[in-house]
């Protein structure tokens, strides 16, 4: 577990300092399926990376989860932005796992999707970092279970 946390921190450091788009086809697919339901911004504002460790596949998504359809990027200071709700995030991730059943990634036993809210990175006030960890379990190419780990 200690090694896992070090790996995650290392990857987060890389993601926050370099504008990489995707590390592989899987991360590109996950970002594409999450983009519309979570209103993710295309480009360096949303960063997705995936890696394998201990027989599991991890996908890390760092994105700004604030949105308001009536506000243009130029007048965001005037109004408070809404946060994407946990229910919306959970539903979007479940749909992503369902769509992964129909791809070549269904042969993986477990895929873990970790979502970090980029808007709260580097804050010093009492706001906590929003993170969502979901695990999808596959058996013989079929999605068996989607569970939220944290």
| Residue pLDDT, tens place only, 107-123 | 888 899 988 877 655 55
Residue with tokens 């790996």: 7
- Residue 134 counted as domain residue: yes
Rounded Cα distance between 30 and 123, Å, is 27
Q: Is residue 5 part of a domain?
A: no
The pLDDT tens digits of the residues spanning 46-103 come to 778 888 888 888 888 888 776 544 445 555 555 555 667 788 888 999 999 988 888 8
The residue-averaged pLDDT of 22-42 equals: 78
Q: Within a domain: residue 10?
A: no
Please tell me the distance from the alpha carbon of residue 119 to that of residue 122, in angstroms, as a whole number.
9
- Within-domain flag for 88: yes
* Cβ 59 vs Cβ 27: under 8 Å: yes
Q: Does residue 7 lie within any of the structural domains?
A: no
**15 assigned to some structural domain:** no
**Count of structural domains, the chain:** 1
Q: Phi/psi of residue 48, each to 5°?
A: -130, 135
User: Is 29 inside a domain boundary?
Assistant: yes
Q: Is 52 within a domain? A: yes
pTM to 2 decimal places: 0.72
State the angle between helix axes of 25-38 and 86-100 in degrees (0 to 180), rounded to the nearest 10: 140
């Amino acid at each position: 577990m200690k090694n896992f946390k070090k790996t995650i921190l290392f990857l987060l450091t890389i993601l926050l300092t370099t504008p990489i788009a995707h590390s592989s086809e899987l991360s590109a697919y996950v970002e594409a399926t999450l983009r519309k339901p979570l209103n993710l911004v295309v480009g360096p504002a949303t960063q997705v990376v995936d890696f394998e460790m201990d027989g599991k596949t991890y996908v890390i998504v760092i994105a700004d989860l604030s949105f308001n359809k009536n506000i243009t990027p130029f007048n965001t200071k005037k109004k408070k932005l809404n946060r994407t709700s946990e229910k919306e995030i959970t539903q979007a991730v479940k749909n992503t796992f369902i769509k992964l059943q129909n791809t070549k990634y269904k042969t993986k036993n477990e895929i873990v999707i970790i979502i970090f809210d980029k808007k709260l990175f580097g804050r010093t006030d009492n706001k906590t970092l929003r993170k969502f960890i979901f695990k999808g379990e596959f058996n013989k190419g079929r999605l068996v279970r989607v569970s939220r780990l944290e």
